[in-house]
Structure 1
Amino acid sequence: MSEHAPLIIETPATYIRRIRLNRPKQMNAYTTQMCDAMCDELDAYLKDDDLRVLIVTGEGRGFCAGGDVSNADTDRAHLMSQQLSHAREMRDGMHKVIQTLHHLDKPIIAAINGPAVAGGLALALACDFRIAAASAKLGDTSGRFALLPDEGGGWLFPRAMGLDKALQMTLLAETYSADEAMTLGLVTQVVEDDTLEATALELATRLAAQSPLAVRLAKSMMRNGLDLTLEQSQREAALAVMIANPSDDVAEGVKAFFEKRAPVFSGK
């Protein structure tokens, strides 16, 4: 793939897809072109039954520095003259990326190799697991530019770290070390820089070995359950059981248990 392509797409192991944001000189700050490419790749991941786990990471020293502000004057002139078209760009750009990641029923791992700030932090939080390199910095720097956490941070940040901590981070434009971010609930795991890719791939491999049907249904149940009552969640679970229990994977899981071997799940 061209070094100028906004994404680098890799298949590091069976069932596993990896997306690298590819604007290393800009710390992978996103553009409209990158958002369009991300939406296309997420759609391809969802529709390909041979892909069970997705890893999102950055090329070079950064994960994602949020939106590209290098053309701030031009962008401001565009915004002031065409507010509605700017809103459409957001809706069809990073808003769509964040929403797609959040609602995907397949597992997604963010391998945070460097700074994940502002929209980059929202991108990471829209994934299911966040493994951070020890040197990574995370936070919301949008306030330094008098900007807002508009990519989804206003919804994602308080849910990850609590309202008071999210307000402190955003209103004071704070960033944190990887260890501090884990304490705050922004990160799942912190590892040494040189083991980040191997750790993310190990987790992806473990996830890929599970029943893809059960994984997708369980993820959907938990994601949806955050906005449901207990009774509503249980009703949804009863419907999911009607799909899962008759599957070949359940039969394989039971058979493997009695044969004292690891199951081999097909997703059927």
Structure 2
Amino acid sequence: MSQDAPLILTEKRGHIAILTLNRPEAMNALGAPGDGDQVAAACEAINDDQDIRCVILTGAGRAFSAGGDVKAMKAREGAFGGNGVKVRDGYRKNIHRIVRAIYGLEVPSIAAVNGAAIGLGCDVACMTDIRIGADTAKFGVTFLKLGLIPGDGGAWLMPRTIGMSRAAELLFTGDVIDAAKAAEWGLISKAVPADTLMDEALALATRIAAQPPHALRMAKSLLKHGTTASYDTLMEMSAAAQAIAHHTEDHMEGVDAILEKRAPVFKGA
């Protein structure tokens, strides 16, 4: 797997950041040394940039990501090299950094799944908030076919994404499903023609990026915590976040826009 080019490219279009997995010759396989650091650095930069309101994650070439690099597994190198302790650390310090960084994005994130999203690649897509798939995309949780288990948090995330029964079916069979079935199951929001995928993702990101940025980040945080926090805990978090939102200029802009019957212009103030 080539180490010459960076794994991830970042482009900024207005209030939208586009992250592209950039290893097309290897179908954007993951797990090389430093992959976690690169993804974490890109995501941390986005979190620190208050001008960014939405992120699109996609893949270069014909795949979104084929997942863990099988050639590296065969050679027992990179994140898959050494004894059991070293392999564990390779997951915790490298592969887990990839999924934790994407899951930890503070702004809404969209996966524009342009091709195969297999194993770790499928789980990476599911770490985003919203997924749109090209009609040519394929999805699979194929760890068992390699004699492995989901080592990247997929066993926690997948049932929360599509429900326990369908998550179990995907994992236990190792089946690869097409974009139409992925949309039917709720793995993606919809399947679109491949040549319109980025246009669709950008249109959705533009609608999201029109929202007040501080409230948008807090809303995402509440939505995520709502999957694990108790009702009472989330109610307390909601009250505190709402108190902050009430004291922003964007709140007043939203109120004025409704009263004046015009579109609001949120500035992050």
> Is the TM value for this pair above 0.5?
yes
Query: The TM-score by the shorter chain falls in which range?
Result: over 0.9
Measured in 2, the distance between the counterparts of 1:3 and 1:131 equals 30
Opposite residue 64 of structure 1, the aligned amino acid is S
Shifted more, 37-46 versus 158-167: the winner is: 158-167
Assess if the C-alpha contact under 8 Å between 1:6 and 1:33 holds in 2: no
Match in the other structure for 1:211: 212
Aligned-partner SS, 1:267:
coil
Assess if the C-alpha contact under 8 Å between 2:73 and 2:80 holds in 1: no
Quick one: structure 1 residues 126 and 78, their matched pair in 2 at CA, closer, same or farther if it must change by over 3 Å? closer
CA offsets per residue over residues 2-27 of structure 1, 9 Å max, x none?
Answer: 9822122212x201111110111211
Aligned-partner SS, 2:57:
strand
Query: What does residue range 164-243 of structure 1 map to in structure 2 within 5 Å?
Result: 164-243=165-244
Runs of 4+ in 1 over 6 A off after TM superposition: none
Which structure 1 residue ranges, 5 or more long, are not aligned? none
Which structure 2 residue ranges, 5 or more long, are not aligned? none
TM-score (norm 1): 0.94
RMSD value over aligned CA atoms?
Answer: 1.9
Match in the other structure for 1:137: 138
Match in the other structure for 1:262: 263
Assess if the C-alpha contact under 8 Å between 2:72 and 2:78 holds in 1: no
Quick one: structure 1 residues 152 and 259, their matched pair in 2 at CA, closer, same or farther if it must change by over 3 Å? same
Assess if the C-alpha contact under 8 Å between 1:42 and 1:100 holds in 2: yes
Alpha-carbon distance, 1:88 to partner: 1.7
Match in the other structure for 2:19: 19
Measured in 2, the distance between the counterparts of 1:155 and 1:77 equals 25
Assess if the C-alpha contact under 8 Å between 2:79 and 2:94 holds in 1: no
Measured in 2, the distance between the counterparts of 1:240 and 1:228 equals 15
Number of aligned positions between the proteins:
266
Quick one: structure 1 residues 76 and 233, their matched pair in 2 at CA, closer, same or farther if it must change by over 3 Å? same
Opposite residue 52 of structure 1, the aligned amino acid is R
Shifted more, 137-146 versus 113-122: the winner is: 137-146
Match in the other structure for 2:83: 82
Match in the other structure for 1:28: 28
Assess if the C-alpha contact under 8 Å between 1:131 and 1:188 holds in 2: yes
Identity %: 36
CA offsets per residue over residues 212-247 of structure 1, 9 Å max, x none?
Answer: 111111111111111122222111111111110110
Opposite residue 62 of structure 2, the aligned amino acid is R
